[in-house]
Amino acid sequence: MDSQLDYVSLIRTRRSARSYEHHPLTDADRKDIASAIASAVPLDTAIPLDWKLADRSIMGSSALLYAECGATESELVEYGYRGQQIVLALLARDWGTCWYGLYRLPGSPCSITVGRPATPGLRSALVGAVSRGHTRKSVEQLFPKGIPGDSPPRLLTVLESARLAPSAMNRQAWSFEVLSDTEIAVQGDTGRFPDLGICLANAMASARQLAGASIVKRLGPGRYSVSW
């Protein structure tokens, strides 16, 4: 990960790009995207992910980013965890992206569109409405045990970054629990999508930026902790 990036701001301002400029990738573009891929840190080094670019256009994008991945919880979490780090790194380089589950390249649970974003048009608005991409669940819905009233600002920022994570059809199939002033738990349902890993990446990246380091651990089936 690039320690110089403002991940908190990137997460807060990111929007899924659903309209793209016509932009065939150059060799320099491919090197730039490869650099973003290389910046992602793994959660489980035993799970190999070989990210590739497919020259296929979805929603007008320049290419699709994907990797072959199994369907176990650990593999799907890893896919989302690394993939979201790549998405944030691409965003910092002015690339537009969108997690896209309706088109899966061989062996992948979903792909990521990559291109230069264009001014949103009617198609973008329609896709956003269908996917409910402009809404997020409320704090009350995601924190069944509530948030302690004296929670420090850093904790609240990490929780907000996790809350803003994208997910398939914006279903946000997770809940959060405050374990301490420096640790949260995330309980999620992977299904066939890498949503839980995306959420963990947002929390990890924000915590690492704010505290200088962060640790993600698996606590049990579908349950992980992020501490700093």
Interval 209-227: pLDDT, tens = 999 999 999 999 999 999 9
pTM metric for this prediction: 0.92
Interval 6-27: pLDDT, tens = 999 999 999 999 999 999 999 9
pLDDT of residue 138: 79
Sort 89 into a burial class: Cβ within 10 Å, 0-12 / 13-18 / 19+: buried
Check whether 133 has a pLDDT greater than 90: no
Q: How many Å apart are CA 163 and CA 11, to the nearest integer?
A: 10
Interval 116-125: pLDDT, tens = 999 865 454 4
Check whether 50 has a pLDDT greater than 50: yes
Domains of the chain: 7-130 (3.40.109.10), 139-227 (3.40.109.30)
Residue pair 102/201 in contact by the 8 Å Cβ criterion:
no
Q: What is the rounded end-to-end Cα distance, in angstroms, of the chain?
A: 16
Q: What tokens appear for 70 in the block?
A: 């199994």
